Structure 1
């Protein structure tokens, strides 16, 4: 027979549907917006509902990109470096606002684009012209593959870990990796020519298209992944610093550098659906789960903006530090 304490634990953690008790889960952490301040070498933890800072953590030099674990408890920061190339990750306990450890990547320099898939951290090592994988469970880099291209900056990967794409700013290409299994026993690498200075990149949720921002052409280019060929360029009227699919895959958001705007494009029609003017130059993007809200890091003045994508209204703002760039969100 269960005792009183055991019954209370049973009801709270498991729940009893027949008695009308809603199941309660403590696996997911509280909502949090993580913002990297490049010039301050730290990150700010922000409540995305109140847009108030709840914590701050020092990280390595020049933090550029950040991702959050599936349970919302841990942030992984790529420390890109400043004049001296960086070669570390900072692993952050979000609730405690504490750096758990700093991972030394050894000869892999300027980690930048990062993506967390099934608990594995895939990243670009820009100086090495490579992508690699770090396993937090073993605390080791267990896989590396070269792009053979210059300034492999950002990365986009499929959820099954079998397709990866890098934007290579210095080679005007996108590198496509097709992996047979993980770790890959065999693979194919394809260099896809694109326009001038590709940087921003994202893969559609269905894996059929890659959209790439062209810094020197003020446009976004669309690649068909089945044929590994470019199919279209869309002019944007400014440099697209980041190009991101909304979670439902129906819209692509572009942060436009020169005009201080975000531009929304319908994926099917390829038509612009909304252009939202901002107070600052936009950089990074993170979406709420429903894709209706975007959190935008921006500079001059340095702020993070909460934007309602349906109305175009700015619904919140917070100053997190100097040169906010990489951003990630969990819990909403």
Structure 2
């Protein structure tokens, strides 16, 4: 199976994975998973043909061999797994379990296995690994806080109270800034992305965005932050120099996840209610094309070479 250079999409309702050709802007093929598993988030293992698939309805993590096009292993995790992060240094895998208030830790190697499940705050959502330090950031909606957890002994080194229902976190590429997406319940005008200065342990900027900033992605050149505003159905482009939204691009009734192509020129955004992926020139602020995929596309990732 030729998967290199493709973009892959988790179709949650259809229990399938779509593979897209970014040059032809079309779906090339589709792999069906076990019925009722609910694939919702994806991650690609570096230097390995393994695609990690978070299965929300099955409380599991599926390991799909891209060369063979088959699921080789299914690992049990916690209740209602939602987000996934992979450490660039150790390649350890972390999954947030929303309904069991925990994260599952999966050891990478010849034999992928769950080595631990540790308790965290209430309703963990977004999770990210620091680019060079042994550190995790975890967003919790119910307890309204961010936890920073060191990954050598898995102890909490800092708990930051964020009174804005944090749903997503993302470390900046330099490692000194943490982006936090906040969802203020029933106040659609007050959703924000916070920029937290990790050296000062303080919020240094607040940027107003659309309703439910579900995914945050810093561009490869470090100039911009892409925000998938879920209920607003928009991709918002934040200029990090001016700390302002410079483009707000309508995608659909809702949006879920974002990935960039190899050159970082185009963003690919999942539109769950329309069953499509939108191709966006994020620098120009223009939607270029729609690619039809399966039902309720959620997670999306570029597979690389």
TM-score, normalised via structure 1 length:
0.81
- Structure 1's unaligned 5+ residue stretches are 1-27
C-alpha offsets along residues 61-86 of structure 1, whole Å, 9 cap, x if unaligned?
222110012236221011111xxxx3
Partner of 1:170: 142
> In the aligned structure 1, how far is the partner of 2:293 from the partner of 2:247?
27
> In the aligned structure 2, how far is the partner of 1:163 from the partner of 1:224?
15
Partner of 2:290: 317
C-alpha offsets along residues 87-143 of structure 1, whole Å, 9 cap, x if unaligned?
2111112243222222233xx222221112243212212233222321242332224
In the alignment, is the contact (CA less than 8 A) between 1:304 and 1:318 conserved in 2?
yes
Partner of 1:15: none
**Residue 141 of structure 1 is aligned with which of 94, 104, 114?**
114
**How many Å apart are 1:280 and its aligned residue?**
4.2
The residue correspondences of 1:1-332 to structure 2 (distance < 5 A) are: 30-59=4-33, 61-71=37-47, 73-81=49-57, 86-105=58-77, 108-117=78-87, 118-137=90-109, 138-147=111-120, 149-160=121-132, 162-179=134-151, 181=152, 184=153, 187-216=155-184, 217-331=190-304
Of structures 1 and 2, the larger Rg is shown by: 1
> In the aligned structure 1, how far is the partner of 2:275 from the partner of 2:284?
23
For this pair of structures, how many residues does the alignment match?
Answer: 294
- Structure 1 34/265 Cα, relative in aligned 2: closer, same or farther at 3 Å? same
In the alignment, is the contact (CA less than 8 A) between 1:219 and 1:236 conserved in 2?
yes
Tell me the C-alpha RMSD between the 2 structures: 2.2
Partner of 1:21: none
TM-score, normalised via structure 2 length:
0.88
Aligned structure 1 segments of 4 or more residues deviating by more than 4 angstroms: none
**How many Å apart are 1:57 and its aligned residue?**
2.2
SS of 1:281's equivalent in the other structure is coil
